Amino acid sequence: MIDVMVIILLVVVVMFALSGAKKRLKGGCCGGGSKVKKIKSADSNKSHYTYKSTVYIDGMTCEHCKARVENVFNSLPDCYAEVNLKKKCAELWTNERLSEEKVSELVEKNGYTFVGYSNE
């Protein structure tokens, strides 16, 4: 009788584990589930922008994360963003300098950790 209960308990645990793994595989680390609709910047030609900045961000690990962060910045006027997951950063091209406080607020508001910011 105890053997049957242990087997049932193991089956339930395995089902929960497989369910979580399936969710992560389908939607990335953050369980996005569905594809994030990418917001494109009005102008993606980097030479049309005056300033370039790099934002260092922790917590981005998948394409879903990348799209979410790019969308945050590409939705701003006169801003074009590209995320590099390996370097854990977003490169921003803008016509006006963004304050470190504004950048930090946007990153943190979207569930990621702001690590640093540099202007070039």
Digit-coded pLDDT (tens) for 24-40: 555 556 655 557 788 88
Q: Does the pLDDT value for residue 23 go beyond 70?
A: no
Q: Within 28-78, where are the H helices? A: 63-74
Q: What is the pLDDT of residue 12?
A: 78
- CA–CA distance, 115 with 58 (Å, rounded to integer): 7
The owner of tokens 């395995």 is: 14
Structure tokens given for 4: 């049957």
2, 6, 82, 83 from 79: Cα distances, Å: 63, 57, 10, 13
The owner of tokens 């917590």 is: 59
> Which among 94, 100, 92 has a CA at the least distance from the CA of 78?
94
Q: What is the pLDDT of residue 20?
A: 62
Instruction: Give the tens place of pLDDT for each residue, 54-67.
Output: 999 999 999 999 99
Q: What is the pLDDT of residue 46?
A: 94
Q: Characterize the bridge pairing of strands 113-119 and 51-58.
A: antiparallel
- CA–CA distance, 104 with 38 (Å, rounded to integer): 21
β-pair partners for 53: 92, 119
